[in-house]
Amino acid sequence: MVKQRIMKNPQKVLPQLMAAVVGSWGYFCMGTVRGWGSPGLPSLNKTLDFDMNEDDFKWISAMPMCSSFFGALIISIPMQYLGRKKALIGLYFFYIFGSLILGLTYFGKHKAMLYVGRLLQGLGVGCTTPACQIYVSECSSPNVRGRLGSITASALALGIWVAYIIGAFVEWHILAFIFTVLPCIFLIWTCAMPETPIWLLTHGFEDDGRKALQRLRGKKTNVDVEMRRMKDHHEKSASINGPIRFKDLMKGPILKPFGLIMGIMFFQQATGINAVVFWTVSIFQWAGSSIESRYATIIVGAVHLMCCIGSGFLVDRFGRRVLLLGSSAITSISLAAMGVFFYFQRIWGEADATLHLGWLPLVSLIVFMAAYSCGLSNVPFIVMGEVFPTRYRTFLGTITSSFNLIVTLIVVRFFPDMLTGFGKDITFFIFTGCTLTCIVFVYFLLPETKGRTLEDMEQLFSNKVPKTTKDIPSAGLEDEEILPTVCTQLDTITNGQCGLVDHNILPSIDELDSAFISHSASACMATAGEGERKMESVQQGNPLHSDQIDSSYPGTAVTRLRHVQSRVKSLTPEQLSQDWETVRRSILWAGGLRDLPNARPGKGYTGHSFNDFNHCDLTTMRGDEADNNNEGRVAGIAYNNRLGEGIRIASIEELGPGGSWSTCMIGCNKEPPQDVAHIQFKSRIAFKLVWTPPTFTTFVLVDDSGSLLNWGTPTGNLPRISERRLNFETVKGSKYAVEAERKGVEMQRQPRTFKKLQHEHTIRLFGLTWIAIASTSSRSLFCTWQDSFIMLTSKLTLSLCSLV
């Protein structure tokens, strides 16, 4: 099929693959920073010729995680105002100077240089997570984003493995000097890459954004469809832009994904992965493994890398949820096995435990790394780049990345203390318990994000029914290739030359109405036998339309109708869940109507539009049909019902030729509809607003066939309940009532199982919980565990009170 042919065409994927690889080199540098400690600290301890104590070694190991928190905060400013690409370039300087100072410590012979070098490396680590992940996400199409997003985790694993291999044969300072050179190469390479199209478009560089998108999708790919979608979405976002306020972050569409990502980030680090990475050599030494510790470390690192690469091919095949659940389950088993080994080591003694179970530590860590790499390693960051609303993506990405690094710091810094205080077996059992909790969290709270556009993610967390790929074409390669091809073939048909139309691809184009093809089809079928056969195939699929004539309703302004429906679909949950008057203005904008509440009736007045039971049809009619009279053909409507002048005043021209108007829908419950749109203007409706029973607090927007386009639940100042109830009674029994009735039943249904945790307030509690933990964790380094527990309990109590 077409999608398969496109995916096999390297010209379409190669530019995105190159951008993902270059954007992921920051993760490679992060891996070298994390991997340096495992061979570097034992080497440093052997060659030490200046004063250092045991705590110094612990803090030098954890120092990158301390400063990484601040790196994740400061990178948001250049990412937002200078661009994703320049932020990537800037973060390499932290790695370069940090590794250089670390290596020069060999000659300077002062532990302060070690602290400074590791601190600078940590700033680079903090900058890497949001900058690299968002760059890769914004450069990738939805159908390959999961695969390309996995490259970051593979680069991280590669960096760790390279550090293990080189560190096994050179001293710690030589290793640092090597890691000074590599970021210089990556920096030069990054300069040759394009800025992300989304950032360019949102900052007013539309021409540059188109060029960047063309470069990323391939020179021969038509990017008009994706560019238009991005531009429309940006216009919606810009209409609600402004300073980010705290109360905005407390809204469901923002706090839900924030709470979910914070939870996933916490559980990712609560597996103890970085404790294992930072202390791999020491763990094998404590276990008394029969294999030399440095070689065992290399084996574990190789398994980590291979599984990270393999997971890139799994994440788009099985989805995010399945990989996270499977990865967490197997990871918990391997951690439990490590706990069992150290338990018997404590009971039997080291010699007997090694004699009978000496193989278990190596096997357990190999399984642990393999399972972790296949899901927990990369999926949290892939999901992070997908679920945050565009307007808040940089800000929330920074906070969640910072939180991830804080938890990493706590785990790495206090891992040796946990071993001493709790024992090795209890420590690994604690990690096991956290990983099992992750399974519950993911199963009940995390939705599947595979294959969705970044814009579609914003609807997913607003209690909206997610649109399928049939409802919203993906921004991926298949849409960019298919739609222009279909349009080109259609142009050939309408000019009387029978082109060859592949009817297999037509059903994926939801904007193309079935009745629009008949005029073009008849013209084509009259000219050639081969064309006749092909057009017969087209009519059996989802046929196309002529841009000029809808044969069933020739008064329809076809181009304008398509643009209106595109705008309706792009309205975000945030826009449709505000005060009614604000929601109504968004609906007017989508319909191509100006908000003119002070105009005189007949002179463009739209204050009544969607405010009563009747004026809820958005009709797009051709310009020569706008002056049509009713002449008594529609029951319950004025005899003439002249609307032409008002239509011309109120219609927004940019949506295409013709006009828009909120026409009366009396008579729409008949088949065919006997309302103003279909009778007076001989036009289809672009959409109809219907309030849903039994509460009539939610509305749906359906097209002329009754299919759902969008829906919303305004927060207040609704039209009178009598108007909303009569609105539904007017469409009851017709095709337009089906989606309203279904949505009403859906809104009433309240599951009594544990899935009720998906309720907005529960996930909001998770968000507030992670905020409390984040603000407490930094202080916990400098006070007792009892004080930290009291502080955390107090903050959680305040969070619960705020929900009430």
In order, the DSSP letters of 248-307 are HHTSHHHHHHHHHHHHHHHHHHHTTHHHHHHTHHHHHHHHT-SS-HHHHHHHHHHHHHHH
pLDDT of 5 > 50? The answer is: no
Helix (H, G, I), strand (E, B) or coil at 747: helix
Higher-pLDDT residue of 794, 516: 794
596 and 721 part of one domain? yes
pLDDT at 579: 85
pLDDT at 166: 92
* Cα–Cα distance measured from residue 660 to residue 517, given in angstroms and rounded to the nearest whole number: 23
* Cα–Cα distance measured from residue 472 to residue 139, given in angstroms and rounded to the nearest whole number: 19
**Poorest-confidence range of 52-61, 102-111, 173-182, 209-218?**
52-61
**Both structure tokens of 601:** 């009736």
What kind and span of H or E run contains 769? helix 760-780
pLDDT of 525 > 60? The answer is: no
pLDDT at 119: 92
* Cα–Cα distance measured from residue 298 to residue 401, given in angstroms and rounded to the nearest whole number: 28
Higher-pLDDT residue of 187, 450: 187
Strand partners, 702: 688, 708
pLDDT at 95: 95
397 and 530 part of one domain? no
Question: How does residue 477 score in pLDDT terms, banded at 50, 70 and 90?
Answer: very low
- Write the CB contacts of 780 (distance below 8 Å, at least 6 apart in sequence): 410, 788, 791
- State pLDDT tens for residues 782-793: 444 444 444 444
SS3 per-residue string spanning 636-651: CCCCCCCCHHHHHHHE
359 and 404 part of one domain? yes
Give me the mean pLDDT over the 61-76 stretch: 82
Crossing angle between the packed helical segments 320-348 and 360-373, to the nearest 10 degrees:
160
User: Using the 8-state DSSP alphabet, how is residue 140 labeled?
Assistant: S
Residue 568 lies in a domain: yes
Question: How does residue 454 score in pLDDT terms, banded at 50, 70 and 90?
Answer: low
Residue 235 lies in a domain: no
For residue 101, give the CATH number of its domain: 1.20.1250.20
pLDDT at 431: 93
pLDDT at 380: 86
* Cα–Cα distance measured from residue 473 to residue 2, given in angstroms and rounded to the nearest whole number: 14
536 and 579 part of one domain? no
**Both structure tokens of 12:** 């379409």
Residue 65 lies in a domain: yes
**Both structure tokens of 462:** 């607003």
Residue 207 lies in a domain: no
Give me the mean pLDDT over the 707-711 stretch: 93
439 and 518 part of one domain? no
Task: Let me know: does 246 contact 392? Beta carbons within 8 Å.
Answer: no
Q: How many angstroms separate the most distant Cα atoms in the chain?
A: 101
438 and 527 part of one domain? no
pLDDT of 385 > 50? The answer is: yes
Give me the mean pLDDT over the 651-666 stretch: 90
pLDDT at 592: 92
**Both structure tokens of 465:** 């029914």
pLDDT at 797: 45
Contacts of 484-491 with CB under 8 Å at 24 or more apart are 484/222, 484/224, 484/225, 486/512, 486/544, 490/520, 490/544, 490/546
Question: How does residue 684 score in pLDDT terms, banded at 50, 70 and 90?
Answer: very high
pLDDT of 729 > 60? The answer is: yes
Residue 214 lies in a domain: no
Q: How many CB atoms lie within 10 A of CB 720?
A: 11
Question: How does residue 758 score in pLDDT terms, banded at 50, 70 and 90?
Answer: very low
Residue of 265, 283, 388 whose CA lies nearest to 339 = 283
Outline where DSSP puts E strands in 28-72.
Answer: none
User: Into how many domains does the chain fold?
Assistant: 4
Residue 202 lies in a domain: no
284 and 376 part of one domain? yes
- State pLDDT tens for residues 603-646: 888 988 999 988 999 999 988 888 887 777 777 776 667 788 88
pLDDT at 502: 35
pLDDT at 639: 65
Tell me phi and psi for residue 711, to 5 degrees: -160, 165
Most confident of 482-491, 557-566, 767-776: 557-566
517 and 598 part of one domain? no
Give me the mean pLDDT over the 120-132 stretch: 88
Q: How many CB atoms lie within 10 A of CB 380?
A: 25
pLDDT of 558 > 60? The answer is: yes
Of 540, 566, 583, which marks where a domain is finished? 540
Residue 222 lies in a domain: no
Higher-pLDDT residue of 471, 650: 650
pLDDT at 32: 92
Give me the mean pLDDT over the 705-723 stretch: 89
Higher-pLDDT residue of 766, 155: 155
pLDDT of 719 > 70? The answer is: yes
Give me the mean pLDDT over the 79-107 stretch: 92
- State pLDDT tens for residues 250-292: 766 778 888 889 999 999 999 988 888 777 767 776 666 666 7
pLDDT at 305: 82
**Poorest-confidence range of 130-139, 307-316, 721-730?**
307-316
486 and 364 part of one domain? no
Q: How many CB atoms lie within 10 A of CB 726?
A: 15
Query: Mean pLDDT across the chain, nearest whole number?
Result: 76
pLDDT at 457: 65
pLDDT of 475 > 70? The answer is: no
Question: How does residue 449 score in pLDDT terms, banded at 50, 70 and 90?
Answer: confident
Higher-pLDDT residue of 766, 105: 105
Distances (CA, A) of 150 to 77, 646, 663: 25, 54, 50
Task: Let me know: does 697 contact 704? Beta carbons within 8 Å.
Answer: no
pLDDT of 297 > 60? The answer is: yes
Of 728, 748, 768, which marks where a domain is finished? 748
739 and 777 part of one domain? no
Give me the mean pLDDT over the 729-756 stretch: 75
Interior/surface letters 582-611, b for 16+ CB within 10 angstroms, e for the rest: bbbbbbbbbbbbebbeebeeeebbbeebbb
Residue 503 lies in a domain: yes
pLDDT at 565: 93
pLDDT of 387 > 60? The answer is: yes
**Both structure tokens of 564:** 């209106």
Q: Which DSSP string corresponds to 397-426?
A: HHHHHHHHHHHHHHHHHHHHHHHHHT-HHH
Give me the mean pLDDT over the 187-212 stretch: 89
Of 717, 732, 748, which marks where a domain is finished? 748
- Write the CB contacts of 491 (distance below 8 Å, at least 6 apart in sequence): none
* Cα–Cα distance measured from residue 745 to residue 804, given in angstroms and rounded to the nearest whole number: 27
Give the position of tokens 């937002």. 80
Task: Let me know: does 711 contact 697? Beta carbons within 8 Å.
Answer: no
Domain of residue 504, residue span: 477-540
**Both structure tokens of 553:** 């309703």
pLDDT of 794 > 60? The answer is: no
429 and 509 part of one domain? no
Outline where DSSP puts E strands in 555-704.
Answer: 617-621, 659-663, 685-691, 699-702
pLDDT of 335 > 70? The answer is: yes
348 and 407 part of one domain? yes
- Write the CB contacts of 238 (distance below 8 Å, at least 6 apart in sequence): 202
